[in-house]
Amino acid sequence: MLKLKSVSKFYYNKGIIASGFTKINLELKMGEFIAITGESGSGKSTLLNVISGLDSYEEGEMYINDQETSHYTEKDFEEYRRKYIANIFQSFNLINSYTVYQNVELVLLLNGYKKRDVKNKILDIIEQVGLTKFKHTKVSKLSGGQKQRVAIARAMVKDTPIIVADEPTGNLDTESAKEVIEILKKVAKNKLVVVVTHNIEQIEPYATRIIKMHDGRIVENTEIKPIKEEITVEESKYNKITIANKYRLGIRNTFNIVTKFLLLFAVFFFITSALFLEYASFQLSEYEIEKNGYNMAFRDLSENRIIIKKQDKTPFSQQDYQAIKKLTNIDYIVEDDLFLDANISVSKDDMSFYGNVQDLENFRGNLDIGRMPENDNEMIVKISKQHYYIKSRIEEVLNKTFRINGNNEVSKEQKIDIVGIQYNEEDNNYDAKFYLASSVIENLRSEINKQYSDMKLLFDGKYIPNSVLPSEKVEKGTAIVYDDLRYQMTSGNIRNKTIQIEVNNIYYQETLNLKIKNTYTKSNFKKMTGYEEYDNYRVAIFINNEEYNAIYNKPSYQSSIFVEDSQTIEETIQSLNELGIKAKKVTDYKVTTNGEIFTKIIKIIKLIVTIVLIFVLFFISYFIIRIILKSRNIYYTTLRMLGATYKSVRRILDIELFLNSTLAYAGILVFIKLIDMGIVSFDYGAKLIGFLSIREYIMMYVILIVMARLISRRFSKKLFKNTAINTYNEEV
């Protein structure tokens, strides 16, 4: 039946070769009950794995019914195991979440039997091993001896000519071990049974032959009871696993371990949520651009807004504004219109609002909450009713003191109270409008001009890359510089030398010539400048406060007019031109709208981000799912040992992950419906729902299923990349 001729097994690990066993010559016949014994590391289990086709060999020849196997591929050994081999493992290798019946049934389902045709056969085998009253009990609740009986029943039901058992009594008490050996002896009547054991006394009374191994070689081969009759070898019958069985096992595996199911559900729920949020957010962005347009220079694209500049390029005077106000169709003027297109933040503690500034005189409409400002340190905020702080924490906003934060490291914070709130008609716009007193806006003007200006320093005919900071310690017309600057002068003396400050922006150019009065070092830094941290400002140039502010505090070169009626805006522009003012609608300044370049850019970005997100989610989810399925490594390797092929294991895993992903997707749809019905409060999610069509829902589902399929394929390949026993022993 089985013949080994000079067979050797070697292991390779990091360039080191180790021998499992060497030059084994052995012949095994049907009807024999063979015990292989020896100390740990003698090679007996390795020999058993090679005989059973769970492991390969590197040298010699093994014959099965006189057929050579040295050329066998892993697929050939899979067929060999299905035809000839049934395994009984020391650690049982049972599916703990399955019942006794399901464990025995499993091997038949994998080998193509129909469920309805095997019931009586399974019950008969269970009866033979004395477990009938436990047939519907989960294996995890059985004792060690009972588990080993289930393993024997599973081997018996496969009905193969060879049964191999690796330490089948190693984890059992004496009585249980005796019962197991007696059952194996009954099985051995018409089969070849090979048992590896370290306790030969238990098996010796039943064995027909005892083989002793030492250091990878057979040192004794003693025949105790010769086999007289030649028993015909009958291969086990099997077919390809049926589609029904694949789905039966896939569905069973989906729900058999609740923790695993919930973890996989959570992973796929996260994947789907991330895809929906990312895609719908880009859809929302496209909609906003198509609806309102987008301009790189102007944020407020109101159809009532006109940008005005004087044709002689001089700044506006109050007389100019008075003349403009006399024109018809003028609603209000924003003198410092850079405020409309620049962001500032208003914050306190963990709360911040972002938006633009407008003069309180330009406030229109009624307040929804609070009162009108009565002092310069009070303001109104116009913002979406759905903004989180307004909707959920309004008591922390109204009549509370906030800071208006500048964008420069030397900006002075201004404190101001929010006393009134007006809701923005566009609930999807979370940017705020801050209505402030003119005196506050005047203080902020320098901050806005800094954002749009470029400052350069010229010293000794060269531009130097240093920052300029204001200080109350410095006299007008002078500057205090860092001491190392004197090394740029040959004489080393820089006092009374001129340093030039140039400020440029699109509206004006300012030049300030200052005399260097003194230099500072670490020891006198605070005394000379008034600043605390020397290391933060060690190469700064300090000038007088008033002169610093005067550089930026300039009158307006550009303003905006908001008209009452946009239908007659062209007539208003004509009237402004007659006053010597260059006027143009804000929407005429190269606004990108639907079908133009910015929308196309958004679409390209959406495509790129979606693809990248899919790849990132795939590898993250595979890593997590691999960890989850790692606990199932023994399960799927056991399927392989019981006769499952790569394709059948992959299909079973396909079905399991398909069900998990589909249920997670269904969970997302239910969650979306609850948001849509207002049962679940998620404002941003409710806004995004309207930007997903049936096509997007189908596309997301297809992506999810494809990802599940790829994860299944990748994991299955890992399971079959090595021999069955090596895969069983290693981490997936």
Q: How far apart are CA 459 and CA 635, in angstroms?
A: 77
Q: What is the pLDDT of residue 171?
A: 72
98: helix, strand or coil: coil
Q: What is the pLDDT of residue 732?
A: 39
Token couple for 562: 């908001």
DSSP-derived letter for residue 92 is -
Of 545-554, 644-653, 683-692, least confident by mean pLDDT is: 683-692
**Cα 300–Cα 305–Cα 311 angle in degrees, nearest 5:** 115
Q: What is the pLDDT of residue 555?
A: 85
CB 421 within 8 A of CB 527: no
Would the pLDDT of 599 be above 70?
no
Q: What is the pLDDT of residue 478?
A: 95
Beta-strand relationship, 558-563 and 378-383: unpaired
Model pLDDT for residues 180-209, shown as the tens digit of each residue:
888 888 877 788 999 999 888 888 888 999
Q: How far apart are CA 142 and CA 95, in angstroms?
A: 12
Q: What is the pLDDT of residue 440?
A: 87
Q: What is the dihedral of CA 571, 577, 583, 584, to 10 degrees?
A: 50
| Cβ within 8 Å of residue 37, ≥6 positions away | 44, 196, 197, 198, 200, 210, 211, 212, 213
Model pLDDT for residues 604-652, shown as the tens digit of each residue:
888 888 888 888 888 888 888 878 776 667 788 888 888 788 888 899 9
Q: What is the pLDDT of residue 730?
A: 59
Model pLDDT for residues 333-355, shown as the tens digit of each residue:
988 888 888 778 899 988 999 88
Q: What is the pLDDT of residue 407?
A: 46
| H helices present in 209-257, as ranges | 243-255
Q: What is the mean pLDDT of the chain?
A: 86
Q: What is the pLDDT of residue 543?
A: 94
**Cα 4–Cα 7–Cα 12 angle in degrees, nearest 5:** 145
Model pLDDT for residues 479-536, shown as the tens digit of each residue:
999 998 888 877 778 889 999 999 988 788 889 999 999 999 999 999 999 998 888 8
Q: What is the pLDDT of residue 411?
A: 47
The structure's pTM equals 0.57
Total Cβ atoms within 10 A of residue 365: 9
Token couple for 346: 């208003």
CB 177 within 8 A of CB 169: yes
Q: What is the pLDDT of residue 292?
A: 57
| 3-state secondary structure labels for all residues of 16-58 | EEEEEEEEEEEEECCCCEEEEECCCCCCHHHHHHHHCCCCCCC
Average pLDDT over residues 382-399: 91
Token pair 């963990």 is at which residue?
Answer: 350
CB 70 within 8 A of CB 29: no
Would the pLDDT of 549 be above 60?
yes
Average pLDDT over residues 107-119: 88
Would the pLDDT of 417 be above 90?
yes
- The better pLDDT of the pair 690, 307 is held by 307
Identify the band that residue 212 occupies on the pLDDT scale cut at 50, 70 and 90. very high
Q: What is the pLDDT of residue 410?
A: 42
Give percent above pLDDT 90 in the chain. 39
Q: What is the pLDDT of residue 167?
A: 86
Model pLDDT for residues 49-101, shown as the tens digit of each residue:
999 988 889 999 999 988 999 999 888 888 888 888 998 887 888 888 899 99
Model pLDDT for residues 10-57, shown as the tens digit of each residue:
987 777 788 889 999 999 988 889 999 999 889 998 999 999 988 889
Could you tell me where the beta strands, DSSP code E, fall in 486-624? Answer: 498-504, 509-520, 541-544, 558-563, 581-585
Model pLDDT for residues 556-590, shown as the tens digit of each residue:
889 999 999 988 999 999 999 999 999 999 878 75
Beta-strand relationship, 432-436 and 67-68: unpaired
Q: What is the pLDDT of residue 413?
A: 65
Model pLDDT for residues 449-471, shown as the tens digit of each residue:
787 788 899 998 888 888 899 99
Identify the band that residue 731 occupies on the pLDDT scale cut at 50, 70 and 90. very low
543: helix, strand or coil: strand
Q: How far apart are CA 192 and CA 32, in angstroms?
A: 5
